[in-house]
Each structure stands twice: as structure tokens, then as C-alpha cells.
Chains A and B, each alone.
Chain A
């Protein structure tokens, strides 16, 4: 069972989940808990011979009922691959699974915010290589979505709508455009190759999307991830964060978008969160977003 403590100086919650120290750490392929259970092999988290997409309660949850939720979303029963290399129809199906989980977890009284995310690469702390993501159902509104609500109030309307309009008008940082979805490096990107994937229409959540929008979202996410991998010709680590409307009783609007925070600033150098970032909350970047966007566009073209 986790414990929440409120850190008064920063005004934010800290979750203590000490049982997570024991979680499975980078097992070899034969002991991957996210693979299907093979005849004669160890029983895995998914005791069937084959599956498409599987979701299960995290064995080492940061949050659990009646104080939230922690789920694992396994994209495929194939051990190798990534979000970028899934068959397009599987990536689209993943959007529908995300949508379903948002609907179910968001309907729970103990979940105020449904957070779908993926950690990719040991650089961001991945402990299992099998293609998968996670979902946390927070029993409170976390600080980052709270700041997005504050941005709406500061800008006098939907912040992602305004920022998307600004990016399209400028054009220098736009990476991918479809009729429904746009990917760009934000004007004030904190990470060297940060990217935001935003629905053109104001959609509060996956539940508010048309089928064609989910199709486009999957396609752009895959295009971006393949471009990332082509940039330095190596699997590109990132944290992927899906931001949607909160689901608690104190509801606010939102605008569905997906943010990527890649820690690499060159092919072999990581950006560390050091004194200014951790102690003062101000990112110092070595890279201009316009230059990163140009490099990413070229990599996306190269990846095809």
C-alpha cells in the first residue's frame, strides 16, 4: 500500500510505494513477464499462448484501489519492437484501448486524473523492454495537468488550441500535419527534442474523438517515434505523456495532446536535470527548438 505525503514547500504530493523496490528489473528475454506464457516456460503476467493487447493491474502499484489505480498496457505479444514498429492497425487499436481505460478508470470515484504514459529506454528508467506503457489513476489532480488548467485561465481560453494556432502560423517547428493531428516541437521546448502531438479540434479526451481522429493520432505517434529512431539511428528513449481532461468531481476542461520528453541532447549525451532544473525549476537548454525541429523533420522524412 502506498502512502501520500504532502510536500508543503512545493505544494505537491509525494507517493511512497516502497514495495516497488522489489519489482522485476531488466529480466532476460526468457523471463520477460510481459510475454505470453509459453508451453513449459515460466508463467508470465499474461497466461495465454497469444494475445493482441493486454491490460493488467500492476503487480507493484504506485496507486491502487480505493486510492487510485496502476495498470500496465502491453501493446503486443511480440517481445521486440516499439510503438513505432507496431502494425498500423494495432497502433490504432491501442488508441481505442486507451480510450476504454480512460472511460473505465475515469468513472471511478477514487480516480481524479487518468494518466496514460510510456517510458522507453533504460535512460528513463525502463525495467522491462517488452513494448508496453502504463496508466496511473491518480486520486488527486497532479501538478502538471493543474498547470495546464492554469494556462487556460492565464490565456483566457484553451491553451493547447492557442499554442497550436501559434505553431501553425509560425511553421518553423511543425513536424507532421494531417487533417486531424499536428506534431511540433514547442516554442519553449524544455528538452532538446521535445515534441507535442495535438488534436486540431478541441477534444477534451480520447472519449471525445471521432474514429478518424484516433486513426490519425495513432499514425502521427508512429511517424514521430520512427523519426526519433532515425534521428541518431538508434532506439530513441523518451517519456510519452498523454494529457486529457481530469475526471474528478471538480471537473475542468482539457485538450487531448501527447507530449514526448526525450532525454538525449546528442546521439550519446543525456540531458540531466541538475541544479537549475531541480533546485530552481528552470530548464537550461543547449538546443534551439527551430534547429531541433529541422533535424527531426529530416529524420522523419528519412524514416518514411
Chain B
């Protein structure tokens, strides 16, 4: 068996983790690719955009 992968760092339940910062969005697409919103009832909404323009597009 191959060695275990490094697990993502633990975060606080329900809270954005360190990895969730806008400095590291969908790595390849840059920080402008993600817009985070909070709905009136408190639920999260994430809009991913500019995704169709990567190197393979």
C-alpha cells in the first residue's frame, strides 16, 4: 500500500478553514473565481466563475 496522503488540516466545524481563504480558491483559476455569499437563512452560497477559461478550455 502506498503511504497515507497528508490529510487536509482540521478546521472548525461550520467555519471556513484556513484553506478556505480567498487566497487559495480553486487553485488554478485565481481568487477572482469564487464569490461567497450568505443567504437570508444563513446558508452558504458559492458562485464559481471564470472556470471555463483554463489552459484546457
Q: Which A residues contact B (CB, under 8 angstroms)?
A: 45-46, 48, 51-57, 59, 65-67, 87, 89-90, 92-93, 96-97, 99-100, 103-104, 106-111, 152, 156-158, 202, 204-205, 207-208, 211, 215, 245, 247-249, 251-254
Residue of A nearest to B55 (CB): A211
Q: How far is the CB of A1 from chain B (nearest CB, A)?
A: 13
Assembly CA distance A194 to B30 (angstroms): 37
Per-residue CB proximity of B3-31 to A under 8 Å, as 1/0?
A: 11101111111101111100001111100
Q: Give the B interface residue count (CB, 8 A).
A: 41
Closest A residue, CB atoms, query B50: A52
Q: Footprint of A on B, CB under 8 Å?
A: 1-5, 7-14, 16-20, 25-29, 34, 39, 41, 43-57
What's the nearest-Cβ distance from chain A to residue B37, in Å?
8
In the bound complex, residues from chain B placing their C-beta under 8 Å from that of A109 are 10-13
Residue from B2, B11, B16, B47 within 8 A of A253 (CB atoms): B2
* Contact residues in A for B39 (Cβ distance below 8 Å): 56-57
How many angstroms between the C-alpha atoms of A12 and B21 in the bound complex? 35
| Minimum CB–CB distance for B47 against chain A, Å | 5
User: What's the nearest-Cβ distance from chain B to residue A24, in Å?
Assistant: 15
**Contact present for A253 and B7 (CB under 8 Å):** no
- Inside 8 A of B19's CB, which chain A residues have their CB? 103-104, 107
> Contacting A107 at CB < 8 Å: which of B1, B18, B28?
B18
Contact of A108 among B5, B17, B48 (CB under 8 A): B17
Instruction: Decide: A93 and B48 in contact? CB cutoff 8 A.
Output: yes
Give chain A nearest CB distance to B46 CB in angstroms.
4
B52-A52 in contact (CB<8A): yes
Are the CB atoms of A66 and B29 closer together than 8 Å? no
Return A6 CB to nearest CB of chain B, in Å. 21
B43 and chain A: residue at smallest CB distance: A57
A224 shortest CB reach to chain B, Å: 19
